[in-house]
Chain A
Amino acid sequence: MDLPLIDLQPIWLSLQLAGVTVLILLVWATPLAWWLAHTRSRFRVVVEAVVALPLVLPPTVLGFYMLILLGPHGWVGGPVQALTGSALSFSFAGLVFASCLYSLPFVVQPLHSAFESVGKVPMETAQSLGASRLDAFFSVISPLARRGYLTAIVLGFAHTLGEFGVVLMVGGNIPGKTKVISIEIYDRVEVLEYTQAHILSAGLLLFSFLVLVMVYSINRRLPVQVT
């Protein structure tokens, strides 16, 4: 029996998508999580709910609105098309945009709770020693919140890797551009190529499992002492 040929392109694309998404998320989820952890604003609950929405919404709902938003007539897609000549829907950039919303809670929530457990004191202390807020954040807060960062990175990456509904709605199924692993699996199953589907599915399953084991063992081994 011939070894079934596996198309590596969807795997590579998935890894790229997850990597870029996590990088972007880290940059903009950090201030958001910090704000959530320390604000006394009454809008906090509203923002918290919005951040958590992707956890409960069917991906098709999110995907549908994304499609409209990113399409040639959408608020985001329109201006982008005017600038670059093509809209964001059915493109890799559109996938990244959608993933950044879809995976947001998985990055914000670990950071939020990490910042909460670090508390206000280290920031105040660093400032009293002459550090600006930004300096204090990088020299004191982020090292103390490193467990939260690791969890956020790993969960954000794994979750983006596993998304299906949003990607299908926003990205379509364009080989080399928007066809990621989860969609490739769907395609294989549709044409009854179970062997390929098995290999990809088992790979994703194993990867996700290993990632979660890593998260939990890191959480055990990296105690953050706050004195």
Chain B
Amino acid sequence: MKNLLEANFKMDYPGFNLDVELTLPAKGVTVVFGPSGSGKTTLLRCLSGLERAPSGTLKLAGQVWQDDGIFIPIHQRKVGLVFQESRLFPHLSIQQNLLYGYQRTQSVERNLHLDEVVEVLGLAALLKRTPDKLSGGEKQRVAIGRALLTSPKLLLMDEPLASLDMQRKAEIIPFIKRIEDEFKTPIIYVTHSVDEVLQLVDTMVILQAGKVANFGPVQEVFSDVRLRQVLGEEQLGAVLETSVAGHDEEFELTRLDFMGQTLNVPKQNIPVGQNLRVHIHSKDVSLSTAPPAGVTSVLNILQAKVAKIGTLGGYSVDIELDAGQPILATITRKSLANLNLKPGQPVYAHIKAIKMIH
């Protein structure tokens, strides 16, 4: 029995339809991304059982949740739900909120307990309080803890950080990461802002107008040139997995190993050998067909091959490069003509900026 989430939903409403077919690994963090109105929340409601798609199938690790004539109601599915608003019960204390689902979970199925969750999410000081005495970030942590205490087989999060400011977001993200590390609960995370989850995401699903535009491992999906439409110019770029190769004390740099090539970034306080995920915006990558003659101020130059040339139109074009993992570059159409690039051609990618994700 494979550990997969297989979802297939069809919904036809006037002005909106959802037609989704997905097979995802039931582990790690899957981010469902798309502009508003693309059907993210509807998909999540169908996965949770809050909504019943007129036609659809849903299986988690071989267990059928929906099929012709079969529909397991939400309270028997063992899904955890976390929304943008915490949805805590105002008439219960924090501890009672946390235990609400726990008490309704059969003891043999409980694999998480109050103490662990309180510890991981840092809730000890809040237990006796009531929800109206908590900050937005605290409420969200309680909501996550409450969902976890049902020992869910799947944790569904719908824009859980959208109502929080940058600081609160930064405060919660490590907790979500720990959930995944320590409790091994697969998470499906819906958002319209990829930035906040780059460090979490393993698998990415891109929804557009109710359909899956692309899905797969983040490194692959993120370099999809079609992302420009949904992601916008600013965020477009590849996400790379690197590992720390060494530190250069004299120049205060850290060397990252990327598929046998080296990237230099400002010195990071990370031990050698540890993985580091980086985001390279496509607008920060320029190309040349020959190695730079003489000395250049650009420190990071990667050898790659042209994999795919995006659709032409306007003054710029997105080029997908293969450097072991995909990299994206946005260059002008004029440069494309000057360089006379063809798929398969070796090029040098000059990288002007690298964003570390941690």
The proximity string for B residues 79-109 relative to A, scoring 1 for CB distances below 8 Å and 0 otherwise, is 1110001111111000000001100110000
Q: How large is the interface on A (under 10, 10 to 19, 20 to 34, 35 or more residues)?
A: 20 to 34
Partner of A131, one of B75, B78, B88, B131: B75
Given A225-B132, A227-B132, decide whether A128 and B74 contact each other with a Cβ distance below 8 A: yes
Judge whether A125 and B91 touch: CB under 8 Å.
Answer: no
Given A224-B90, A225-B90, A226-B90, decide whether A128 and B79 contact each other with a Cβ distance below 8 A: yes
Q: Is A46 an interface residue (CB 8 A)?
A: no
Which residue of chain B has its CB nearest to the CB of A124? Answer: B50
Given A124-B50, A225-B132, A227-B131, decide whether A130 and B105 contact each other with a Cβ distance below 8 A: yes
Q: How large is the interface on B (under 10, 10 to 19, 20 to 34, 35 or more residues)?
A: 20 to 34
Partner of A227, one of B76, B79, B90: B90
Judge whether B131 and A132 touch: CB under 8 Å.
Answer: no
Judge whether A129 and B146 touch: CB under 8 Å.
Answer: yes
Judge whether B81 and A132 touch: CB under 8 Å.
Answer: no
Bound form: Cα–Cα A98–B132 in Å: 44
Q: Is A76 an interface residue (CB 8 A)?
A: no
Tell me how far the C-beta of B38 lies from the nearest C-beta in chain A, rounded to whole angstroms. 22
Among B76, B78, B87, the most chain A Cβ lie within 10 Å of the Cβ of B87
Please indicate the chain B residues that have their CB under 8 angstroms from the CB of A131 in the complex.
Answer: 75, 100-101, 104
Q: Is B199 an interface residue (CB 8 A)?
A: no
Tell me how far the C-beta of A40 lies from the nearest C-beta in chain B, rounded to whole angstroms. 14
Bound form: Cα–Cα A124–B158 in Å: 14
Bound form: Cα–Cα A126–B101 in Å: 8
Query: Which of chain A's residues 196-227 have a Cβ closer than 8 Å to chain B?
Result: 224-227
Judge whether A122 and B89 touch: CB under 8 Å.
Answer: yes
Bound form: Cα–Cα A171–B100 in Å: 49
Partner of A130, one of B85, B86, B91, B101: B101
Given A127-B75, A131-B104, decide whether A121 and B150 contact each other with a Cβ distance below 8 A: no
Which residue of chain B has its CB nearest to the CB of A143? Answer: B91
Bound form: Cα–Cα A129–B149 in Å: 9
Given A131-B75, A227-B131, decide whether A126 and B100 contact each other with a Cβ distance below 8 A: yes
Please indicate the chain A residues that have their CB under 8 angstroms from the CB of B139 in the complex.
Answer: 227
Tell me how far the C-beta of A186 lies from the nearest C-beta in chain B, rounded to whole angstroms. 45
Judge whether A130 and B104 touch: CB under 8 Å.
Answer: yes
Bound form: Cα–Cα A224–B91 in Å: 8
Given A135-B104, A225-B132, A227-B131, decide whether A130 and B75 contact each other with a Cβ distance below 8 A: yes
Q: Is A144 an interface residue (CB 8 A)?
A: yes
Q: Is A150 an interface residue (CB 8 A)?
A: no
Please indicate the chain B residues that have their CB under 8 angstroms from the CB of A132 in the complex.
Answer: 75
Q: Is B48 an interface residue (CB 8 A)?
A: yes
Please indicate the chain A residues that have their CB under 8 angstroms from the CB of B100 in the complex.
Answer: 126, 129, 131, 139
Among A128, A135, A144, the most chain B Cβ lie within 10 Å of the Cβ of A128
Bound form: Cα–Cα A126–B50 in Å: 12
Please indicate the chain A residues that have their CB under 8 angstroms from the CB of B101 in the complex.
Answer: 128-131
Judge whether B104 and A129 touch: CB under 8 Å.
Answer: yes
Judge whether B131 and A130 touch: CB under 8 Å.
Answer: no
Which residue of chain A has its CB nearest to the CB of B96? Answer: A139
Partner of A127, one of B74, B89, B90: B74
Q: Is A32 an interface residue (CB 8 A)?
A: no
Given A128-B80, A129-B147, A130-B150, decide whether A121 and B87 contact each other with a Cβ distance below 8 A: yes
Judge whether A125 and B89 touch: CB under 8 Å.
Answer: yes
Bound form: Cα–Cα A9–B87 in Å: 51
Q: Is A140 an interface residue (CB 8 A)?
A: yes
Judge whether A140 and B50 touch: CB under 8 Å.
Answer: no
Please indicate the chain A residues that have their CB under 8 angstroms from the CB of B132 in the complex.
Answer: 225, 227
Query: Which of chain A's residues 121-166 have a Cβ closer than 8 Å to chain B?
Result: 121-122, 124-132, 135, 139-140, 143-144
Tell me how far the C-beta of B160 lies from the nearest C-beta in chain A, rounded to whole angstroms. 14
Bound form: Cα–Cα A140–B81 in Å: 17
Given A130-B104, A135-B104, A225-B132, decide whether A125 and B87 contact each other with a Cβ distance below 8 A: yes
Bound form: Cα–Cα A224–B80 in Å: 26
Please indicate the chain A residues that have their CB under 8 angstroms from the CB of B80 in the complex.
Answer: 128
Bound form: Cα–Cα A227–B73 in Å: 25
Please indicate the chain B residues that have their CB under 8 angstroms from the CB of A143 in the complex.
Answer: 91
The proximity string for A residues 92-114 relative to B, scoring 1 for CB distances below 8 Å and 0 otherwise, is 00000000000000000000000
Please indicate the chain A residues that have their CB under 8 angstroms from the CB of B147 in the complex.
Answer: 128-129
A contact residues vs B (CB 8 Å cutoff):
121-122, 124-132, 135, 139-140, 143-144, 224-227
Q: A126-B100, A129-B75, A227-B131 are in contact. List 5 more A-B contacts (CB 8 A).
A: A127-B74, A129-B101, A129-B146, A143-B91, A224-B90
Ordered by A's residue number, 12 sampled pairs between the chains whose C-beta atoms are within 8 Å are: A124-B50, A124-B74, A125-B81, A127-B75, A128-B101, A128-B147, A129-B100, A129-B101, A130-B150, A135-B104, A140-B89, A144-B91
Which 4 pairs of residues, A with B, have the shortest CB-CB distance?
A129-B101, A130-B104, A128-B81, A127-B75
